[in-house]
């Protein structure tokens, strides 16, 4: 029954990630109060990407999954980036 799937993540790891997530949320709200022009959106997206990386890697156990899972995730993100990139190339440089 017990395959190698039983990787047990300690409570403490989750708690640290949660604190980091709350801290990053506070940071993104604080930064949004200043007008940095176009930089605002990139800071917000950068922090959101960092937060989602933490959620996927630790909360969703991706860090402990096999290479198959990681490749599939990478493929999905590559497809999404292609969609977004090509659409914006069309819209912004038409």
Residues contributing to the site for other proteins (CB under 8 A): 1-3, 5-6, 8-11, 14-15, 17-18, 21-22, 25, 28-29, 32-33, 40-41, 44-45, 47-48, 51-52, 55-56, 58-61, 65-66, 68-69, 72-73, 76, 79-80, 83-84, 87-88, 91-92
Question: Nearest distance from residue 85's CB to other proteins, in Å?
Answer: 10
Question: Nearest distance from residue 68's CB to other proteins, in Å?
Answer: 7
User: 10: which DSSP letter?
Assistant: P
As a whole number of angstroms, the distance between CA 68 and CA 64 comes to: 11
Question: Nearest distance from residue 78's CB to other proteins, in Å?
Answer: 11
Residues 6+ apart with CB under 8 A from 62: 56, 69, 70, 73
**How many helices and strands (H and E) does the chain possess?**
3, 0
């Amino acid at each position: 029954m017990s395959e190698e799937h039983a990787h047990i993540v300690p409570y403490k790891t989750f708690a640290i990630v949660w604190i980091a997530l709350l801290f990053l949320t506070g940071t993104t709200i604080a930064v949004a109060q200043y007008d940095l022009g176009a930089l605002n959106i990139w800071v917000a997206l950068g922090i959101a990407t960092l937060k989602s990386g933490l959620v996927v890697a630790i909360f969703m156990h991706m860090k402990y999954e096999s290479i198959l899972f990681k490749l599939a995730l990478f493929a999905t993100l590559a497809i999404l980036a292609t969609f977004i990139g090509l659409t914006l190339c069309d819209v912004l440089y038409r």
